[in-house]
Amino acid sequence: MSLPKCGALYGERYRVIVSTDIGGSDPDDFQSMVHYLLYSDLFDTEGLISSAWGDGRVSDIFTVIDAYEQDYPKLKKHSEYYPTPDYLRSITAQGAIDIAPYKGYAESTPGSQLIIESARKEDDRPLYILAWGLLEDIAQALHDAPDIIEKIRVNYIGGPNKKWGLNAYEYILREFPDLWMIEDNSTYRGWFNGGNMEGDLGNHSFVVEHAKGHGALGEFFATQLGSVIKMGDTPTVSWLFDGNPEDPETDSMGGRFERVWNRPHRSYHRNTTKEDVVEIFEVIEFVFEGPVIDKPMTEIEKQPFFHMVVQNQRFEGFYCGDGQYKVRFMPKSLGEWEYVLESEIPELNGQSGQFVSIPEARENRQDKGQNLKNWWADTLEPEEAEGEHMGAKTVNRYREFYLRDFAARFDRCL
C-alpha cells in the first residue's frame, strides 16, 4: 500500500518533544531513542524529557547522546540538519520520577516547564509531544498552563504505560477533554509483531546485520534486549514520516486510528468477582471502605495507604476522604484477573477479588457522555489486528520499507 508523499521524509519539519521512560520501566526506549537520533535531522527537536518512574533519569538519555556524539561527525556529512550533541543535552530535562497521586498531578518539574515554554513559543506550527512513558509531565503542564492545550498534539503509547499512569491519564481525560490525543494501546505492537520478517528483516537478524558494527549507535542498539527489535515507542516517530499527522484516520507508518468520543471507565464500590466483565484497556476504579483519617488532605494526598497486587505487580492506592480508599487499574490483555490488597490498615489488608477482561466494543466509543473533541484510539477493524493486537497491521504492513530505511540510517555511521 502506498502512502502520500508528504511528511518528515519529504521535507515537512515538525516541532517535537519526546517524553520517555528510558532506563525506567521500559528498556526498549533505548532502542527508540537511537532510532530517533538517527532521524533527528528531519525534526525541530525542542525537548527530550525523562518521564520515567523508578530508576530512569536524564543520565539515561545522555548515555544515548554520548553514543550519538561519537557518530555525529559522520552523520553530519549526510545532513547539515543533525542537531549538535551539546544542543541535545541542553534541551534534556528531568520530568516526574513518581507516579501522580490520585488527583492526577503533583508538582512542577523541569520537564513540565519545558513543555509549557516550548508550547508558548511564537511558532504557528503545532508542538507534537511523543509520549513514550507516563503522562505525568503532560498532565502537570496542562494543570499549570491550561492555555497550551490549543498548541500541543499528543501521540501516546498507552498499553502498559497507561496501566501505570492512570491517575494522570484520568485527570487529563476529565479536565481536558478538548486535548488532541492519539491513544495507542496496541497499534504500536505492529512495529515488532507481524509483517515481513524474512531474511535480514527478522527482529534479531536485522540487529545483527544492520545495527551491530555500525558506529557507536549501532553497537549500543545491539546491546539492548538481547539484540532483538522491540522499539514499541518508535511508531510515534514513523507517524510523522509519511502522511498527514493532523489526520490520524489516514494511513501512516505509525498506524491508522479511529475517532472516539468516549473512553471506557467504571467504578466498583465492592469486591468484584468473575461475573464482573470489563473491556481491555478500560480504567477500573476500586473504592474500598476504611477508617476516617482526621488529617488535612493536603498532608496525606500523596501518601499511598495500600497496594493492589495484580500478577505480582503493586499499584498504589490512596485515601480520598470520608473513609474511602481508591485505586485504579487497567487490564492490558484479555483474560481472568485476580487481586489482593496489602495494607497496614486491617480493614483493607487481605481483601481480594476477580474480574474478566474482554475485547473493546466500538459502540462504547460512540457514547458522547465524555464528549472528547480530538481523541483517537486503535482501529477495531478485525482485518487490521495481529492476533489480539488491534490495529497492529496498520503499522507492520510497512515493515520492509521502514526497516530498510532504518538500515540506511545505520549505514550513515560507517
Do 354 and 377 lie in a common domain? Answer: no
pLDDT at 255: 97
Regarding whether 325 and 198 lie in a shared domain, the answer is no
Q: Count up the domains in the chain and report the number.
A: 2
In tens digits, the chain (414 residues) has pLDDT values of 567 678 999 999 999 999 999 986 667 999 999 999 999 999 999 999 998 676 778 999 999 999 999 999 999 999 999 999 999 999 999 999 999 999 999 999 999 999 999 999 999 999 999 999 999 999 999 999 999 999 999 999 999 899 999 999 999 999 999 999 999 999 999 999 999 999 999 999 999 999 999 999 999 999 999 999 999 999 999 999 998 999 999 999 999 999 999 998 999 999 999 999 999 999 999 999 999 999 999 999 999 999 999 999 999 999 999 999 999 999 999 999 999 999 999 999 999 999 999 999 988 888 766 789 999 999 999 999 999 999 999 999 999 999 999 999 999 999
d(CA 380, CA 361): 8
What pLDDT does residue 106 have? Answer: 94
Structural domain of residue 280, as residue ranges?
265-359
In a domain, 3, yes or no: no
* pLDDT given at position 25: 61
Contact 285, 265 (CB under 8 A): yes
**CATH classification of the domain holding 287:** 2.60.40.10
The verdict on 273 and 201 lying in the same domain is: no
The torsion defined by the Cα of 5, 243, 39 and 63, in degrees rounded to 10, comes to -170
Together in a domain, 161 and 76? yes
Same domain, 158 and 272: no
Q: What is the pLDDT of residues 335-349, one digit of tens each?
A: 999 999 999 999 999
Residues 392 and 293 in one domain: no
Nearest Cα to Cα of residue 200 among 411, 403, 30, 408:
403
pLDDT given for residue 3 in this prediction = 73
Residue-level pLDDT at 303: 95
How far is Cα 253 from Cα 23, in angstroms, rounded to an integer?
26
Q: Are residues 241 and 353 in the same domain?
A: no
Domain presence at residue 194: yes
Pairing status of strand 257-260 against strand 374-378: antiparallel
**3-state SS of the chain?**
CCCCCCCHHHCCCCEEEEEECCCCCCCCHHHHHHHHHHCHHHCEEEEEEECCCCCCCHHHHHHHHHHHHHHHHHHHHHCCCCCCHHHHHHCEEECCCCCCCCCCCCCCCHHHHHHHHHHCCCCCCCEEEEECCCCHHHHHHHHHCHHHHHCEEEEEECCHHHHHCHHHHHHHHHHCCCCEEEEECCHHHHHCCCCCCCHHHCCCHHHHHHHCCCHHHHHHHHCCHHHCCCCCCCHHHHCCCCCCCCCCCCCCCCCCEEEECCCCEEEECCCCCCCCEEECCCEEEEEEECCCCCCCHHHHCCCEEEEEEECCEEEEEEECCCCEEEEEECCCCCEEEEEEEECCCCCCCCCEEEEEEECCCHHHHCCCCCCCCEEEEECCCHHHCECCECCCHHHHCCHHHHHHHHHHHHHCCC
Is residue 1 assigned to a domain? no
Could you tell me if residue 160 is inside a domain?
yes
What is the C-alpha to C-alpha distance for residues 263 and 376, in angstroms, rounded to an integer?
Answer: 10
Q: 120: Cβ–Cβ under 8 A, 6 or more apart, which residues?
A: 145, 147, 148, 151
Residues 6+ away with beta carbon under 8 Å from 340: 308, 309, 350, 351, 352
CA dist 67 and 40 (Å) reads 14
pTM here is 0.96
Q: Which amino acid is at 233?
A: D
Based on its alpha-carbon atoms, the radius of gyration of the chain, rounded to whole angstroms, reads 21
**Rounded CA separation 319/302 (Å):** 9
Collect all residues with Cβ–Cβ distance below 8 Å to 396 and sequence separation of at least 6: 190, 191, 193, 194, 195, 386
Q: What is the CATH number of the domain that holds 256?
A: 3.90.245.10
Q: What digits encode the pLDDT tens for the residues 54-98?
A: 677 899 999 999 999 999 999 999 999 999 999 999 999 999 999
Whether 327 is covered by a domain: the verdict is yes
